[in-house]
Amino acid sequence: MTNLQNKRVVVTGGSGFLGSHLVERLKGSGCGNVFAPAHQEIDLTNNDAIERLFAKYRPEVLIHGAAVVGGIGANRANPGRFFYENAIMGIQLIENARRHNVEKTVVLGTICAYPKFTPVPFHEEDLWNGYPEETNAPYGLAKKMMLVQCQAYREQYGMNAVFLLPVNLYGPRDNFDLQSSHVIPALIRKCVEAMEAGREEIVLWGDGSPTREFLYVDDAVDGIVLATEKYDKSEPVNLGSGMEIAIRDLAIMIAAMTGFKGNIVWDTNQPNGQPRRCLAVSKAEKEFGFKAATPFEVGLRKTIDWYIASK
């Protein structure tokens, strides 16, 4: 059991969507030494900058949540960048954590690491049974190499490094930039802006048939904190809600919740992405007591309300 209240904790990506919620939770639960250096201060692709991070903050616990991320379009436009920057950040951070004797390192992976045709629900044991979906394979594989590194360092050096696999997240403060956002914020923004402009249709990629699972950001934070406190094994663990919804049904739901009454047009010249995504979530509950608590419609309503209020 790691008592975080008495530890110096560094969260990479702490000013981002998930990271900002995680930092708030840690501070709110009495953890008095939480540090979240911004990208402007520490460029995590630069090893000298990482050395400065460890010298300045002297972390006892490291939670690596920083990533270069985006939806299908961003992944297709930046496969080289997404591979290199995610891989180099993780490799250098984990190596420095080892050399500086960090007590506990928690690395956040991605659902994109799973093979394209993984049987539903995705079990952690399925992770190596095929190649990821092509549009996000460089990103998914870069993150999966951190699992290999964590396991290798545990075996050779006895390093306490754990690897979590969060499913698609959503919630307040998500990225609503249509050039790089994921599906939920993109749908919300398209519906709201179409109503404001008086447009009678929105155009979405693919045919709407793929399925996705979503985890509300506060639930993801719960899972990460519980794993940081209680999980000390080498095997990766899924963090998800266990729900599955078709993109077509998701679009209809968000249109109704935002009040958009126009047509939804599917551009089938654009890719669908991975056919199905839904995680097996029993391992997280068994190993460290995590179970998602936020009903999907409740989380969606909070996300929509936050976006409208922030405009």
Q: Catalytic positions, please?
A: 139
Buried b (16+ CB within 10 A) or exposed e, 135-151: bbbbbbbbbbbbbebbb
Question: Where do runs of H (alpha helix) occur along 111-246?
Answer: 137-157, 183-197, 217-230
Nearest to 60 by CA among 32, 81, 29, 82: 32
73, 49 Cβ separation under 8 angstroms: no
Ramachandran angles phi, psi of 131, nearest 5°? -95, 145
Nearest to 166 by CA among 115, 92, 231, 217: 217
Q: Which long-range contacts (CB under 8 A, 24 or more apart) does 264-270 make?
A: 264/201, 264/202, 264/204, 264/208, 265/201, 265/202, 265/203, 265/204, 266/203, 266/204, 266/205, 266/206, 266/207, 266/208, 267/203, 267/204, 267/205, 267/206, 268/206, 268/207, 270/72, 270/205, 270/206
Helix (H) or strand (E) holding 94: helix 79-99
**CA dist list (Å): 165 to 70, 153, 230, 231, 306:** 16, 19, 16, 14, 26
E strands along 13-99, which residues? 34-35, 61-64
